[in-house]
């Protein structure tokens, strides 16, 4: 019995060596298509910068980690901050209690202005009152279109999710859709539910909701496929986020269905898909604009006393439809991740 003849060759070392060698070999062969090089051909135009005194603005959202949408909001806020000589402090937590703590944190830092999202308005009541006592102006963005005034916010920039849904429902009526499914990627999310409810309200055909597991893309794909197989009369799939729209297109193909895909929100892959016609249209709420306007409004308020909507009306940033007719214009901005 030879105990020393352990199959050491099965150990990790040779595998790593082979892999490393392969890397070295492949490093020499670069891609002649696409990639970063192609992207870098697009140039950026630099905006001017204000010479007003330096001020600090806190932007506190209910973003869940890794959400593309919020990333665009943040970019808009950063653009405004850069232009207005504002130091932007960004923080986020999807848990309402934690978000309130982050706002309190900003008050303690004695910032010059706070921009917040009102995903759960009641949880924010206390800290908003606190900011008022501290003399810090607060503006709202994105969520909370029906609550911002009640809570005493200065102004609000966003899209009414129900209104956006209703607009999409109307638009679907004009495309001749008869039966749609509305794909919700996070069961129990208020904003997403409002969108689907809005669609159902104005859409004249039949609308059904479908829940998918948003953290697992293959699962999203096969669930949509399954639904399309189960009900072959579905002629339009409505998704509530750009990445899910791209997956829905594949599912339509897999199920052998003829359904069209329409979606809320936008990203640069989606713009391409609208351009080549695989996706019908997208409803954009212009997240970049929300972030930009929120910060810019606080700057204006401090330096010139202006406030949009006179404290009575929200500033609606959406719904803005992106379809074949205007997609080319949107495309160049979307490529930079600003639209």
From candidates 124, 234, 252, 255, binder to other proteins by CB under 8 A: 255
Binding mask 122-161 for other proteins (x = CB under 8 A): ----------------------------------------
Q: Is 269 in the site for other proteins (CB under 8 A)?
A: yes
Q: Is 218 in the site for other proteins (CB under 8 A)?
A: yes
205: exposed, middle or buried (Cβ count in 10 Å: 0-12, 13-18, 19+)? middle
- Among the listed ranges 88-96, 98-106, 172-180, 265-273, the one in contact with other proteins (CB under 8 A) is 265-273
Measured between alpha carbons, how far is 183 from 327 in angstroms, rounded to an integer? Answer: 23
Q: Is 333 in the site for other proteins (CB under 8 A)?
A: no
SS3 category, 256 = coil
Binding mask 178-217 for other proteins (x = CB under 8 A): ---------x--------------------xxxx--xxxx
- Of 98 and 219, the one with the shorter C-beta distance to other proteins is 219
Q: Is 64 in the site for other proteins (CB under 8 A)?
A: yes
Helical H runs in 117-160? 121-133
Greatest pairwise CA separation for the chain in angstroms: 90
SS3 category, 133 = helix
Smallest distance, other proteins to C-beta of residue 328, A:
18
From candidates 117, 162, 194, 223, binder to other proteins by CB under 8 A: 223
Measured between alpha carbons, how far is 277 from 129 in angstroms, rounded to an integer? Answer: 49
Smallest distance, other proteins to C-beta of residue 122, A:
24
Smallest distance, other proteins to C-beta of residue 117, A:
17
Q: Is 89 in the site for other proteins (CB under 8 A)?
A: no
Strands 320-323 and 281-284, sheet pairing: antiparallel
Strands 138-142 and 156-158, sheet pairing: parallel
DSSP state of 160: -
Measured between alpha carbons, how far is 118 from 141 in angstroms, rounded to an integer? Answer: 8
From candidates 85, 222, 275, 278, binder to other proteins by CB under 8 A: 222
Measured between alpha carbons, how far is 57 from 124 in angstroms, rounded to an integer? Answer: 18
> Left (φ > 0), alpha (ψ -120 to 50) or beta: where does 311 sit?
left
Smallest distance, other proteins to C-beta of residue 67, A:
6
Please give the backbone phi and psi of residue 123, each rounded to the nearest 5 degrees, phi first.
-70, -20
From candidates 53, 65, 135, 305, binder to other proteins by CB under 8 A: 65
* C-alpha dihedral (55, 61, 64, 68), degrees to nearest 10: -70
From candidates 52, 109, 173, 219, binder to other proteins by CB under 8 A: 219
Residues that bind other proteins (CB under 8 A): 1-4, 6-7, 9-12, 15-16, 19-20, 22-23, 26-27, 29-39, 64-68, 71, 75, 187, 208-211, 214-219, 221-223, 225-227, 229-231, 243, 246-247, 250, 254-256, 267-269, 272, 337
């Amino acid at each position: 019995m030879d105990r020393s003849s352990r199959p050491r060759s099965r150990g990790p070392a040779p595998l790593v060596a082979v892999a490393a060698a392969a890397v070295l070999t492949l490093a020499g062969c670069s891609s002649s298509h696409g990639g970063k090089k192609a992207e870098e051909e697009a140039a950026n135009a630099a905006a001017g910068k204000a010479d007003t005194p330096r001020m600090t603005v806190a932007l506190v959202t209910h973003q869940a980690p890794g959400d593309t949408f919020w990333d665009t909001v943040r970019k808009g806020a950063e653009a405004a901050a850069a232009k207005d000589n504002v130091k932007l402090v960004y923080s986020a937590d999807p848990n309402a209690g934690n978000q309130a703590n982050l706002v309190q944190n900003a008050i303690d830092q004695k910032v010059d202005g706070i921009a917040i999202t009102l995903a759960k308005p009641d949880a924010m009541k206390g800290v908003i009152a606190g900011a008022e006592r501290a003399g810090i102006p607060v503006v709202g963005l994105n969520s909370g279109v029906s609550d911002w005034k009640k809570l005493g916010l200065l102004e609000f920039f966003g899209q009414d999710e129900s209104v956006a849904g209703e607009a999409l429902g109307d638009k679907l009526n004009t495309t001749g859709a008869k039966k749609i499914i509305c794909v919700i990627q996070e069961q129990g999310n208020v904003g997403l539910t409002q969108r689907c409810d809005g669609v159902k309200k104005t859409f004249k055909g039949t609308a059904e909701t479908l829940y998918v597991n948003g953290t697992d893309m293959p699962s999203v794909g096969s669930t949509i496929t399954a639904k399309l197989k189960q009900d072959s009369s579905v002629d339009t799939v409505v998704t509530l986020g750009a990445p899910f729209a791209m997956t829905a297109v594949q599912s339509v193909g897999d199920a052998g269905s003829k359904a069209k895909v329409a979606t809320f929100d936008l990203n640069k892959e989606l713009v391409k898909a609208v351009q080549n016609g695989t996706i019908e249209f997208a409803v954009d709420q212009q997240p970049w604009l929300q972030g930009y306007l929120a910060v810019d409004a606080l700057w204006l308020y401090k330096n010139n006393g202006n406030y949009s909507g006179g404290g009575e009306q929200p500033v609606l940033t959406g719904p803005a439809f992106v379809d074949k007719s205007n997609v080319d214009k949107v495309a160049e901005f979307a490529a930079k991740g600003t639209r």
